[in-house]
Amino acid sequence: MSFCERLEARHAGLREVILRHPFVTGVGDGSLPVEAFKWYVRQDYAYLIEYARVLALASAKGPDLESMGWFAGLLHETLNTEMALHRGYCARFGITEQELERTEAAPTTVAYTRFLLATAHQGSLGELAAALLPCQWGYCEIGTQLARRGLPGNAPLYAEWIRMYSSPEFVEIGQRLRSLVDGAARSAGEAERARMESAYRASLRYELAFWEAAYRQEAWPA
């Protein structure tokens, strides 16, 4: 069993809670209120801005040209493909790019991105890769599970979202990150592997918190 497989087995319960979350299932069957999806798109855009900074730091931490280039490529895909999808959604909602970029990050968005940035600055590349796994591979899990159930015919935007995150290209990115995490774990000592697992667990919890925040359309109290 690989390091990633062991991580997933140890946190299977939390992963299952995410897959069964009403936001996720609501996207899958088309029943999610559109206002919750609008919140998600705007907050995920704010998240991706900081995520791009994290990927730039990951590229700088790369021990060789191959890993540096891979993270740089992922940064390019995030800035020019994934964020473009969000801008396209917002255009259909009547939200301009300027309005989207002025979105104030919600409390959970701030907490999650600050954790990733702190890990990028202070942790090893293995810790950072493990911290990225719940988002990058988690979306693959969600997308492929929802795609297997069938696209919601009554919600074309949600169907487009599912196609994006279940696409072979996106799954390939997730698999490459898994390989990177497994490789880092093989060369790490016991203490670093423990830190990698801690980073993975924290991000997994933040992923669940983010879906919950989207479902509730979280806002600052004042």
Domain boundaries, the chain: 3-215
Segments of the chain scoring below 50 in pLDDT = none
Active site residue 101: no
Residue 173: predicted pLDDT: 92
Note every long-range contact of 153-159, with CB atoms under 8 Å and residues 24 or more positions apart, other chains counting. 153/30, 154/30, 155/27, 155/30, 155/32, 157/37, 157/89, 157/92, 158/27, 158/28, 158/30, 158/32, 158/37
Considering 4, 8, 50, 135, which one is annotated as catalytic?
135
Could you give the CA distance from residue 188 to residue 44 in angstroms, rounded to a whole number?
Answer: 32
In eight-state DSSP terms, residue 81 is I
Please report the pLDDT score of residue 115 as a whole number.
Answer: 98
- Distance CA(145)–CA(62), nearest Å, equals 32
Q: Spot the catalytic one: 8, 127, 197, 207.
A: 207
Cβ neighbour number for residue 197 with a 10 Å cutoff: 18
Q: Which fold has domain 3-215?
A: Heme Oxygenase; Chain A (1.20.910)
Q: What is the pTM of this model?
A: 0.95
Residues 29-55 pLDDT 10s: 999 999 999 999 999 999 999 999 999
Among this protein's residues, is 135 annotated catalytic? yes
Structure tokens belonging to residue 42:
């705007």
Cβ pair 181, 4 in contact under 8 A: yes
Q: How many helices (H) and strands (E) does the chain have?
A: 12, 0
Tokens of 210: 């983010």
